[in-house]
Structure 1
């Protein structure tokens, strides 16, 4: 029971310090058109299949998009040029899907 009480005391003290510090400044909202951010009409589905892992990037925009898949603890994809209404698949064997970004 002592470790629980110590943890509670630690968390309560940390909360008190955070409140005493005052409100933090809000982070500015990220612009969807900023470099690296894909537009909302580009989506990614990631899943496992028999050969490993797949990240499927779909372009539902009205124009061609360029995107790459970023893998945590693994190799990122090359830059895909994806025409409207189509998609591109990136197959990888290790790491975890991180995000999809413009390139």
Structure 2
């Protein structure tokens, strides 16, 4: 039996790959709401899974509660602040810069 974490990783990898191939900018999966960009509060907790590949990243909330998350890109455009429900995620792609961190916002 495949555990939930493995399933979540596969789901996030598929979503990120699809977005990269489609050449999309910041996108959100079902169940997330994009909010106005706000100042970062601190690094996201370890229960938030991060998947980085090339110039794209996706995050998946496994924390048991809704979080507001933002992907920070060094020398490039950060994502907006997203409200991410438990067992949901979002992804962000960029053309310049590199992944720095995921923060709460």
Q: Which runs of 5+ in 1 are unaligned?
A: 1-34
Q: Distance in 2 between matches of 1:57 and 1:46?
A: 9
Partner of residue 53 from structure 2, selected from 44, 47, 55: 47
Alignment of 1:1-103 (within 5 A): 35-48=41-54, 53-103=55-105
TM-score (norm. length: structure 2)? 0.58
1:37 Cα shift?
2.1
Cα deviations across residues 6-60 of structure 1 (Å, max 9, x unaligned)? Answer: xxxxxxxxxxxxxxxxxxxxxxxxxxxxx31211111211103xxxx21101101
TM-score (norm. length: structure 1)? 0.60
After superposing on structure 2, the runs of 4+ consecutive aligned residues of structure 1 that deviate more than 3 Å are: none
**C-alpha root-mean-square deviation of aligned residues, in Å?**
1.0
Report the structure number with the largest CA radius of gyration: 1
Higher relative contact order (CA 8 A, sep 6+): 2
